[in-house]
Amino acid sequence: MTALSRRRAVDHPPLLRIVRDQLSANRWYIHILLWIAVIFMGFPLFYAALVSTQNNAQMFRLQMIPGNSFSFNLQTVLDRNIARLMFNTFAVATMVTLGKVVLSIFSGMALVYFRFPGKSLVFGFILAALMVPGEVTIIALFRLVALELGWGNTWTALVVPAVASPTGVFLFRQHFASITPELSEAAQLDGAGPLQFLLRVLLPLSRNTVTALVVIMFIGAWNSYLWPLLIVTNPDLQVIQVGLSTLDDGVEIGRTWGPIMLGAVIASIPPIAIFVLMQKQFLQGFALTRHK
């Protein structure tokens, strides 16, 4: 392969050079089309940010420059306790993500580094749960958590049902299985137990997988809406996605869109930041779940 490319670099046949020029499309219209795509993708949230500085009158006038109501809108969302909502969401999403990662690492480890009867059955039991989307069980889960367990209006109801993650187990099992078994044999010869092996050898080798899972799970937990909407009614415990529509100023007739849009923009910053900064790990996480 290297020999081939080196030869090409030295003497291009003329035809291939023409073809290369044709294929490497550094043309102006590609840039134009890409900018159209960028504007198309960016416009909705850009407009939301614009409205977050306006009052209803300015918005309905289709004013395309920032309005003068930003400080009023900010005051409104602060009065409606957006800080509390954001903190709640952050706390719940962190607990869910942490729980998922820790439990998935332990389960993945059990499935790769131990021998026990019924291992393939256990793995099948976990994998089959991938097939059941939460929406299918949500009515019965609601009945179970609210009525039988009595966890309505608690963070327990938001965190505990979410921490067992078949996706995470699958991800770590695949990752651990791809690590050479000689490492754990060497660790055993050196007298290390499973926990020591996990902390000293496995975790340092799994940084990318952990990051990938954290990104996917945190964005998912941050954006979850239906379950908190059903199970939490106490505004002090509520998360931002459900709380957004309560960010009205409650004075004008109908909805005041400025504060709601400001809330929407604020609520979108953490997941967007994580997603943009961690694109590579995110993609890698999906690649891992896809293969095999």
Partner 1 sequence: MPAFLFTCLASALGALVVGAVLKRRGRGLRGGLALGAVAGLLGSLATMIPLQYCVLDPENHMFFELSVLGQTITVNAVALIGFLLVIVVAWAFVLAIDRLRHHWLARGATVWKADTAPGTFIGYDFSPWIFLAPTLVGLAVFTYYPAAQNFFLGTQLARRGVANTAFNCLDNFASLITSRLQDAHYYILSDGFIWHAENARYLAVFGNSVFFSVFIVLVANVLGLAIALLASQKIRGASVYRTLIIWPYAISGVVVGIVFAILLGGGGSGFLNQFLQLFGAEPAPFLSDAWWARASVVAAAAWNKLGFNVLIYIAALQAVPMELMEAASIDGANAWKRFLNVTIPMISPYIFFVVFLNLNYSFFDLYAVIDNLTEGGPVNATTNLVVDIIRVGVESRDIGKAAAQSIVLFMVVVGLTYMQFRVMGRRVTYGAD
Please report how close the Cβ of residue 194 comes to partner 1 at its closest, in angstroms. 5
* Token pair recorded at residue 254: 């109908």
Nearer to partner 1, 237 or 267 (CB): 267
Residue closer to partner 1 (CB basis): 109 or 217: 109
**C-beta of 87 vs 286, nearer to partner 1:** 286
Rounded distance, CA 1 to CA 4, Å? 5
Nearer to partner 1, 2 or 24 (CB): 24
Rounded to a whole number of angstroms, the minimum distance from the CB of residue 76 to partner 1 is 16
Closest distance to partner 1 from the beta carbon of 75 (Å) = 20
Query: 24: which residues sit within 8 A by CB, 6+ positions away?
Result: none
**For 193-256, where are the alpha helices, taking DSSP H only?**
194-197, 203-205, 207-222, 226-231, 240-243
Would you put residue 224 in left (φ > 0), alpha (ψ -120 to 50) or beta?
A: beta
User: 217, 171 in Cβ contact below 8 A?
Assistant: no
Report in angstroms how near the CB of residue 207 gets to partner 1 at its nearest.
20
DSSP string, 10-38: H---HHHHHHHHHHS---HHHHHHHHHHH
Measured from the CB atom, the residue of 126 and 237 that comes closer to partner 1 is: 126
| DSSP code of residue 206 | T
Q: Which of residues 94 and 268 has its CB atom nearest to partner 1 in the complex? A: 268
Q: How far are the Cα atoms of 155, 204, 242, 248 from residue 88, in angstroms, in the given order? A: 9, 31, 11, 19
